[in-house]
Homo-oligomer: A and B are copies of this chain.
Amino acid sequence: MSLHSPVDLTKNQTLVYGALADAQGPLSAYTILDRLRDDGFRAPLQVYRALEKLLEFGMVHRLESLNAFVACRHPDCGEHETIAFTICEQCGKVAEIADDRLMEHLDTLARVDAFQPRKTTVELRGICASCQ
């Protein structure tokens, strides 16, 4: 049981996670599908079902503003419910920012309205350091 495999992944989950881990940046579900054709993938649902589990395990993140997915690169991300992303609109590079104080800040804002957050999305789209 490796650090990134708190559970044993099924064949399809392993393939999908592998595709994301190999990728430079985020991939759409259909891109993953195309890359796994040779491994026997035939339908979107094979990808979406694996992604659903991987998201549940915290091994993959969904980028809402891109409708795409990335493998989690942050070692201890299991400890951060809230993860912020920077997304470079030039080169497509995605970075994770895990910041406890940001999470607290968002919690505080939610508390003002008595709102109980279940899943928080923070995505900064712009230009990364390398592309300036």
Contacts and interface: CB of A to CB of B under 8 A. Distances in A.
A97 interface: yes
B113 A128 contact: yes
B118 A121 contact: no
Copies of this chain present in the complex amount to: 2
A106 B126 contact: no
A99 interface: yes
A115 B109 CA distance: 24
B124 A123 contact: no
B118 A97 contact: no
Contacts of A105: 101-102, 105
Given A115-B129, A117-B124, A126-B119, A99 B110 contact: no
B125 A97 contact: no
A112 B2 CA distance: 31
Interface in A76-132: 84, 86, 88-89, 95, 97, 99, 101-102, 105-106, 109-110, 112-129, 132
